[in-house]
Amino acid sequence: MHVHRYERIWMTFGIGMLLVFLTIVLVAAFADNMNPPSDMMQIDPTKVASTPPFERPGLRSLGNGRYEAYYVARIFAFSPNILRVPLGSTVTFYVTSPDVVHGFNIAHTAVNMMVIPGWVNSATHTFRTPGTYLLVCNEYCGIEHQTMFGSLEVR
Ligand code: CUA
């Protein structure tokens, strides 16, 4: 089979670029240990409502201005829907889903997670600015996805 010279150059270039991109992805994943923050803790998605601490979602104080917040994201609401957070506190959010994939994004912060049934995802943020923060689901999860939001009141 005859392949035109220009065709061969382009094929070589295309395959070469794929190898370069693959190398970058593999180096980032393994050498730089760059992984999604999810999938660290497993949970039975059918037993979320009876698995501590998710059976009682909400804020827990660890002392010294540090808190843990446990959230359940389900179609189509966050539990707790409103969370009151003392100003200046550092909160680690743990979130899981009993049904489908949801998003957990606190606007104007770096907290932006995918919530996958069967897994607990987590992220930490220090709230230095008072106000009401919008919490939204940013993964399409069904017909009322756009109604799935909550808020954090930082005072
Ligand atoms: Cu939950 Cu979109």
d(CA 33, CA 50): 34
What pLDDT is attached to residue 20? 98
Q: Which residue is it, tokens 């190898």?
A: 19
Q: Could you tell me if 81 and 123 lie in one domain?
A: yes
CATH code of 93's domain: 2.60.40.420
Residue nearest to atom 1 of ligand 1 (CA): 102
**Cβ–Cβ < 8 Å for 96, 74:** no
**Cβ–Cβ < 8 Å for 141, 100:** yes
Amino acid occupying residue 133: Y
Ligand 1 mean position, distance from CA 96 (Å):
12
| Strand bridging mode 90-96 / 66-74 | parallel
Q: What tens digit of pLDDT does each residue of 14-56 get?
A: 999 999 999 999 998 888 766 665 557 889 999 999 999 999 9
Range of the domain at 7: 1-34
Q: Could you tell me if 140 and 68 lie in one domain?
A: yes
Q: Could you tell me if 119 and 140 lie in one domain?
A: yes
Ligand 1 mean position, distance from CA 105 (Å):
11
